[in-house]
Chain A
Amino acid sequence: MYQYDAFDRRIVEERAHQFREQVVRRIDGRITELEFKPLRLQNGLYLQLHAYMLRIAIPYGLLSSKQLRVLADVTRKYDRGYAHWTTRQNLQLNWPKLEDVPKILDELAAVEMHAIQTSGNCIRNITSDPYAGVAADEVADPRPYCELMRQWSTFHPEFAALPRKFKLAVTGAAEDRAAIAVHDIGIRVVKSDAGEIGFAFYVGGGQGRTPLLAPCINAFVPEAHLVSYTEAILRTYNRLGRRDNKFKARIKILVKAVGAEEFARQVEEEHAHIAEGPLKLAREDIEGFRRFFRPPMYEVLRDDDPTLAAALLGKDRGLASWFAHNVAPHRQPGYAIVNLSCKSPDLPPGDVTADQMDAVADLADRFSFGALVVTHRQNLVFTDVKKRDLPALYAELTRLGFATPNVGKLTDIVCCPGLDYCSLANARSISVAKQVAERFEELSKLYAVGELHLNISGCINACGHHHVGHIGVLGIDKQGHEFYQLMLGGSSGTDASLGKVLGHALVHDEVAPAVERVVLAYLAHRAGPEETFLEAYRRLGPAPFKEAVYDPARA
């Protein structure tokens, strides 16, 4: 993974120092709260319902075991012993004290971490494919580009006061595991017929109150122009994006208003001026980043490992089920990708305790070259595990509660913090997730429900990505009471789509039973076990599901 050099270290240290001074000036009154707000936000510090919340950046989700141990330490020392993986591959502390934040930043800086630009109206932490570097369907590893873009966007002087927040995602694979269609800019690495690397740019996607899928504005930007083209988009947006209404300020509104074609033309015009300037990348520039992401020293192994094969046939059906659900194929023979499910019945989705972090760090050292990835579905990934080691790893993960065989399945629920923590929430989300999970633990033992993404947001801001859940749940407020809308048919994958509201809103305790009726209707109507929920919904339309939820007597 990327290693800081003296420049990177100096920048993070100077940032920690700067923020410490800003806090001093805030406390002694030289900066007003209003003026302090954008400063603290660009340092990941939110004012939540009960306290400050600190969002720590995990660039493209990649962590070393050493970093994870420091996160555990910070969580224990400055918070209540648990933290939260976000849907943008970051980590949130829910209860730090303002005066402790500079100390936390110092401790993070010591292991090349920070909270820079994890919130505020700036370019946010860049997200990527959790299987980057090991996916079998990859054109090129996206991480060197992510790191390059991280550096370009960090403290970019021109883009620190954008109309609104700005999120980028990069994928290098055929299957989209980075949800690029619902980002301000989604970048897909592509290869031309001549074998040259370039990028397809999707601009103006997003969730929130105006969910939109990003149109492609350029199908092939040459590799050398990755940064200059992005700068041209940002400059166009910074100048022309709306600033009169916070809800109309995202780039998606601009792109929609002028049209994708016209927006693309404006970007091209801007880009023509800067394409050959200092941001143009030389081959060696990219090579300089690529060398940090070379594959680890794999052992030469046979792919059909006999230890694993025997164990899979053994008495423990749990191992087989876990292998089927949580383990993905690797491109190196004899290795596998292992998903750690952070969705157990005991903790709210995405929550993780300091002790669990320490334990996971140890496992990463033992089984996966000391590295791990945080996913946008709030799980963790060990990218390089020997197949031979899978039974041992399974035993350890089971002990820790990370082996629930549900990755990509119904109880692998994506969920925002909701009313329990968030000052913007309309409704609770964690308790809904819990009720659904309880209900389905039994059901999923009985049926192979297959791939099914359930995403829950506590309000229209959509941090729980409800628009792109196969089943989405959105908390809304009706005359001061919490209600929930049910949406079906969303997807953040390669075939991205936005979910549609099924019918009238439900009260809290109706949500889990309604989700259950949806799933039972799917099981009743699917063409066969191979047809996933999403495929069935696309084939059948909403009618049978609507009937199941709202008119169960007839259904």
Chain B
Amino acid sequence: MTLLAHDAERGARLVEDDPWLDLSDETPLPSHGDVVVPLARLADVVEAPGRLAARVDGASDPELLAPHLHRLALIVVEIPKFTDGRAYSLARLLRSRHGYRGELRAVGYVLRDQLFYLWRCGFDSFALAPGKDPADALAAFTEWSVTYQPAEDHDVPIWRRRRAG
């Protein structure tokens, strides 16, 4: 799996080692390490062995995540199809409505040409779909030097930016 990260300060980069251990519904918690558990299991994990993450999909209700956000270091959002845009809205709600500041990762059918939008909506790490060229993907974040509307990356609509001169 190719994992990328992007933020305003450091730009885009490949992430070599990913510490997260992805657990299914049944797999018992290990004695140590950082774990990802499905949203439904979150309430049962009273004490995580290391850092804790939740796995959701675009259709998940952010209200269900809200009570857990303070103890999450990562939220993994599964994108089943690249034409399913629910993850974008979910990410924005998690960031702006619920103030989530941890890592937000897009996994699944994640393609180069979605990366910039995903980032604008609040994602900061991306597991590229299998077989896709990482070098191509890294270039996706610099394609645009200006955007019209506010999102999670900035809050200045173009009309206000123009007025500022």
Residues on A with beta carbons closer than 8 Å to the beta carbon of B27: none
Does residue A39 face the partner (Cβ distance < 8 Å to B)? Answer: yes
Q: Is the CB of B120 within 8 A of A157?
A: yes
Asked whether, in the complex, the Cβ of A7 is within 8 Å of the Cβ of B158, the reply is yes
Query: How far does the alpha carbon of A354 sit from the alpha carbon of B150 in the complex, in Å?
Result: 40
A279 CB–B CB distance under 8 Å: yes
Q: Report which of A152, A153, A158, A279 forms a contact with B92, defined as CB distance below 8 A.
A: A158
Alpha-carbon distance A134/B161, docked complex (angstroms):
31
| Chain A residues within an 8 Å CB radius of B156 | 278
A38 at the B interface (CB under 8 A): yes
B86 adjacent to A239 (CB under 8 Å):
yes
Q: Name A14's contact: one of B111, B118, B132, B144 (CB within 8 Å).
A: B144
Contacts of B143 in A (CB 8 A): 14, 17-18
Contact (A38, B163) CB under 8 Å given A152-B149, A238-B89: no
Q: How far is the CA of A239 from the CA of B160 in the complex (A)?
A: 28
Contact yes or no, A38 B136, CB < 8 A: no
B-contact 0/1 string along A238-267, CB 8 Å cutoff:
110001000000000000000000000000
Q: Is A11 an interface residue (CB 8 A)?
A: yes
Cβ-closest chain B residue relative to A284: B163
Known contacts: A7-B161, A10-B146. The answer to whether A278 contacts B88 by CB under 8 A is no
- A151 and B159 alpha carbons, distance in the complex (Å): 9
* Chain A residues with CB below 8 A from B136, complex form: 25, 30
A155:B145 contact, CB within 8 angstroms: no
A161 and B88 contact, CB distance less than 8 A: yes
A161 proximity list for chain B (CB < 8 A): 82-85, 88, 114
Q: Which of A115-169 contact B (CB under 8 A)?
A: 121, 148, 151-163
Is A273's beta carbon under 8 Å from chain B?
Answer: yes
With A160-B88, A161-B85 in contact, do A151 and B162 touch (Cβ < 8 Å)? no
- The reply to whether the CB of A438 lies closer than 8 angstroms to some CB of chain B is no
> Is A22 an interface residue, CB under 8 A from the partner?
yes
CA distance A229 to B118 in the complex (A): 22
B113 lies within 8 A of A151 (CB)? no
B116: nearest chain-A partner, CB-CB: A157
Interface centre among B83, B111, B147 (most CB of A within 10 A): B83
Chain B nearest Cβ from A287, distance in angstroms: 10
Residue A152 contacts which of B83, B85, B157, B161 (CB distance < 8 angstroms)?
B157
Q: Does B101 contact A (CB under 8 A)?
A: no
B121 at the interface (CB under 8 A from A): yes
By the criterion CB–CB under 8 Å, are B159 and A239 in contact? no
Name the CB-closest residue of A to B62.
Answer: A239
A17 to B144 Cα, complex, angstroms: 10
| Residues of B close to A239: CB separation below 8 A | 86, 89-90
Range for the number of chain A residues in contact with chain B = 35 or more
Contact A10-B145, Cβ < 8 Å, known A160-B117, A239-B86: yes
Establish whether residues A11 and B155, one from each chain, have CB atoms under 8 Å apart when the complex forms.
Answer: no
A148 touches B159 (CB 8 A): yes
Q: Closest B residue to A280 by CB, please name it.
A: B157
Set of chain A residues within 8 Å of B82, measured between Cβ atoms: 35, 38, 161
Name the residue on A nearest B97 (C-beta): A273
**Is A442 located at the chain interface by the 8 A CB criterion?**
no
B159 contacts A158, CB within 8 Å? no
Interface membership of B22, Cβ < 8 A: no
The answer to whether B163 touches A288, judged by C-beta atoms less than 8 angstroms apart, is: yes
Report the nearest A residue to B139, measured CB to CB.
A21
Bound complex: CA of A29 vs CA of B13, how far in Å? 24
Interface assignment of A367: CB less than 8 Å from any CB of chain B: no
How many angstroms from the CA of A402 to the CA of B145 in the assembled complex?
A: 44
Distance of A58 from chain B, by nearest CB (Å): 19
CA distance A10 to B148 in the complex (A): 11
B133 CB–A CB distance under 8 Å = yes
For residue B151, CB closer than 8 A to chain A, the reply is yes
| B159 CB contact (under 8 Å) in A11, A39, A289 | A289
| Bound CA–CA A239/B94 (angstroms) | 13
Q: B150 contacts which of A121, A148, A273, A278 (Cβ < 8 Å)? A: A278
Residue of B whose beta carbon sits closest to that of A25: B136
Q: Give A282 Cβ to nearest chain B Cβ, in Å.
A: 8
Chain A hits for B133, CB < 8 A: 30
- Residues A157 and B163 in contact in the complex (CB < 8 Å), given A152-B149, A278-B156: no
Q: How far is the CA of A151 from the CA of B146 in the complex (A)?
A: 12
Q: Is the CB of B85 within 8 A of A238?
A: yes
Q: Contacts A35-B111, A278-B150 given: A157-B117 contact, CB under 8 Å? A: yes
Please indicate the chain B residues that have their CB under 8 angstroms from the CB of A196 in the complex: none
A273 to B89 Cα, complex, angstroms = 14
Residues of B within 8 A of A155 (CB): 117, 144, 147-148
* B160 CB contacts on chain A under 8 angstroms: 278, 282, 285
Contact of B88 with A152 in the complex, beta carbons under 8 Å: no
Judge whether A552 is part of the interface by a CB distance below 8 angstroms. Answer: no
Q: Output the least CB separation between A284 and chain B (Å).
A: 6
Complex CA gap A158/B96 in Å reads 13
Interface residues of A in 376-418 (CB under 8 A from B): none
B158 touches A159 (CB 8 A): no
Q: How far is the CA of A157 from the CA of B83 in the complex (A)?
A: 13
* Residues on the A chain within 8 Å of B151, using CB: 157-158
Which residues of chain A are within 8 angstroms of B132 by Cβ–Cβ distance?
30
Among B113, B116, B148, B150, point to the contact of A39 (Cβ < 8 A): B113
Once A157-B120, A277-B155, A279-B157 are accepted as A-B contacts, the answer to whether A38 and B83 lie under 8 Å apart by CB is yes
Please tell me which one of the listed residues A5, A14, A121, A227 contacts residue B83 in the complex, with CB atoms under 8 A apart.
A121
Q: Which of chain B's residues have a CB closer than 8 A to the CB of A148?
A: 159
Chain B: minimal CB distance from A246 (Å): 10
Expressed in whole angstroms, the Cα–Cα distance for A289 and B158 within the complex equals: 12
A103 CB to closest chain B CB, in angstroms?
Answer: 19
CA distance A35 to B128 in the complex (A): 14
Other 8 A-B pairs with CB < 8 A, given A151-B149, A157-B149, A288-B163: A14-B144, A17-B143, A35-B111, A151-B148, A157-B147, A158-B88, A238-B85, A285-B159
Between A and B, 14 residue pairs with Cβ closer than 8 Å are A10-B145, A11-B144, A11-B147, A22-B113, A38-B82, A155-B148, A161-B82, A161-B114, A235-B92, A238-B86, A243-B86, A277-B96, A278-B160, A288-B159
4 A-B pairs with least C-beta separation:
A161-B85, A157-B120, A157-B117, A278-B155
A-to-B contact residues, CB < 8 Å: 5, 7, 10-11, 14, 17-18, 22, 25, 30-31, 35, 38-39, 121, 148, 151-163, 227, 235, 238-239, 243, 273, 277-279, 281-282, 284-285, 288-289
